């Protein structure tokens, strides 16, 4: 089985240029640094290694059939956001498989679109290794060298291709919050690609938001594939049902969920900075060691971070409820629920549980970067 990567979101990022600044001496907020990181595919099936026998179009066709069967035979989603009923997408006969998902945000235990998403993410991660990851994002397009311009243009093309490949998944996922994540990845990826000809440093927030959104999707998909989602989901208290659900919209014309700063943005930034500060010592411990092999020091630091995580989960959930933006509400509850699931995982922690933390960590940064991107005029 592929082992999860080491570390707790503490990969060394390049110095931030503009945007949300961390408190002095502390690690930059999540979502900064490399825009994407590759994630492992599903674990090998019993009887041999997984064989790649389907092309992209065929894979999407299989996913579509799976979704239709799920809706026809199951009638509702029992693994993800859990609700029954209808939304603005016109009910069970809608073109969106998530049309009936109107319930609380919970842990995703399976999603048929994850099989298509992980290769999209990893291909995009490879495309960004052309030197773009080492760029200084404060340099405007008017000052780019020919080589730097080539790097930006190639990444812009890769982002557009990834958004095109993700577009069908918006309709195929049976989970509302996953649909919203796909839509927002597409919206921010396209916004960044469109900004490249006239790029200035604030536009980097589009890339940061798209990157964090991609990491959230990859984290929750990998947690589901490796069984962490299913193992921990029953232990997490149910979140409140949404009072309002955003329209699914047109996948071909995605819109950013924040086009102007939300009233909760300053408090979200403060809560994120507080969590970063109070979890710093614990995040320096290795993530590839199961609970039964922890040192006394790691046990101590883990015990100390548990109340910090619980408090921050409650804070982010509360901020979501204060917002009038239904997508921000869903994303806030996603951050909170995955943080609560990770806390439940700690007494019997295994390395695959790291993906629960990846989801909540990157989700925290996704909203923070979207708040800064909303300030772009």
pLDDT, tens digit, for every residue of 62-86? 444 444 434 333 333 434 343 333 3
- pLDDT for 249 equals 93
Note whether 170 and 251 are within 8 A (CB): yes
Q: Is 310 inside a domain boundary?
A: yes
- Give the C-alpha separation, 35 to 208, whole Å: 6
Distance CA 305, CA 308 (A): 5
Q: Are 327 and 257 in contact (CB under 8 A)?
A: yes
Q: Whole-angstrom Cα distance, residue 193 to residue 207?
A: 9
Q: Which residue has the tokens 């239904």?
A: 326
Helices (H), 279-350: 280-283, 296-322, 326-345
pLDDT value for 8? 55
Return the number of other C-beta atoms located less than 10 Å from residue 158's C-beta: 21
Per the domain annotation, does 228 fall within a domain?
Answer: yes
Residuewise pLDDT in 10s, the chain (377 residues): 333 334 455 433 332 333 333 333 434 433 323 344 566 766 654 433 333 323 343 444 444 444 443 433 333 343 434 333 333 334 444 799 999 999 999 999 999 999 999 999 999 999 999 999 999 999 999 999 999 999 999 999 999 999 999 999 999 999 999 999 999 999 999 999 999 999 999 999 999 999 999 999 999 999 999 999 999 999 999 999 998 999 999 999 999 999 999 999 999 999 999 999 999 999 999 999 999 999 999 999 999 999 999 999 999 999 999 999 999 999 999 999 999 999 999 999 999 999 999 999 999 999 999 999 999 97
In a domain, 102, yes or no: no
State the Cα–Cα distance between residues 353 and 231, nearest whole angstrom. Answer: 9
Q: Which residues, in sequence order, are CB contacts of 289 under 8 Å at separation 6+?
A: 298, 351
Instruction: Judge whether 59 lies within some domain.
Output: no
Query: Cα–Cα distance between 95 and 68 in angstroms, integer?
Result: 10
Structural domain boundaries enclosing 341? 107-373
pLDDT value at residue 26 = 37
Tokens linked to 323: 């917002």
Question: What pTM was estimated for this model as a whole?
Answer: 0.81
For residue 198, tell me if it sits in a domain: yes
In a domain, 87, yes or no: no
Total number of domains in the chain:
1
d(CA 347, CA 358): 18
Query: Residues 162, 188: contact at Cβ < 8 Å?
Result: no
Q: Please tell me the distance from the alpha carbon of residue 344 to that of residue 231, in angstroms, as a whole number.
A: 10
Q: Nearest-CA neighbor of 212 among 105, 349, 365?
A: 365
- H-run or E-run covering 167: helix 146-172
Residue 11 lies in a domain: no
Rounded alpha-carbon distances, angstroms, from residue 304 to 45, 232, 312, 329: 38, 21, 13, 28
User: For position 94, what pLDDT does the model report?
Assistant: 77
Please check whether residue 41 lies inside any domain of the structure.
no
Degrees, nearest 5: CA angle 171-364-103: 45
Which pair of tokens denotes residue 344?
């439940």
In whole angstroms, what is the distance from residue 235 CA to residue 47 CA? 31
d(CA 284, CA 282): 5
């Amino acid at each position: 089985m592929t082992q999860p990567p080491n570390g707790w979101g503490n990969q060394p990022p390049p110095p931030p240029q503009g945007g949300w600044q961390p408190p002095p001496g502390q690690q930059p907020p999540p979502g900064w640094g490399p825009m994407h990181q590759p994630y492992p595919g599903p674990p090998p099936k019993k009887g041999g290694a997984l064989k790649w026998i389907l092309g992209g179009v065929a894979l999407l066709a299989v996913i579509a059939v799976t979704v239709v069967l799920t809706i026809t035979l199951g009638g509702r989603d029992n693994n993800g956001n859990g609700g029954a009923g209808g939304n603005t997408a016109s009910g069970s006969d809608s073109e969106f498989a998530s049309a009936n998902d109107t319930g609380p945000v919970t842990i995703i235990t399976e999603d048929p679109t994850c099989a298509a998403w992980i290769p999209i993410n990893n291909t995009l991660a490879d495309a960004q290794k052309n030197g773009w990851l080492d760029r200084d994002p404060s340099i405007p397009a008017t000052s780019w060298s020919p080589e730097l311009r080539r790097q930006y243009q190639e990444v812009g093309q890769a982002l557009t291709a990834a958004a095109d490949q993700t577009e069908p998944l918006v309709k195929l996922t049976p989970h509302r919050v996953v649909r919203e994540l796909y839509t927002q990845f597409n919206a921010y990826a396209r916004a960044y690609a469109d900004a490249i000809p006239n790029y200035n440093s604030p536009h980097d927030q589009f890339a940061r938001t798209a990157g964090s959104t991609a990491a959230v999707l990859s984290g929750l998909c990998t947690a589901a594939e490796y069984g962490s989602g299913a193992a921990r989901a029953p232990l997490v208290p149910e979140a409140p049902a949404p009072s309002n659900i955003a329209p699914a919209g047109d996948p071909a014309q995605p819109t950013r969920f924040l086009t102007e700063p939300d009233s909760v943005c300053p408090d979200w930034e403060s809560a994120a900075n507080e969590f970063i500060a109070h979890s710093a010592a614990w995040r320096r411990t290795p993530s590839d060691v199961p609970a039964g092999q922890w040192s006394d020091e790691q046990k101590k630091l883990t015990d100390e971070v548990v109340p910090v995580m619980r408090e921050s989960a409650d804070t982010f959930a509360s901020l979501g409820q204060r917002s009038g933006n239904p997508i921000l509400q869903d994303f806030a509850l996603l951050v909170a629920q995955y943080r609560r699931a990770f806390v439940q995982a700690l007494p019997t922690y295994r390395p695959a549980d790291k993906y629960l933390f990846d989801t909540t960590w990157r989700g925290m940064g996704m909203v923070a970067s979207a708040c800064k991107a909303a300030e772009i005029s």
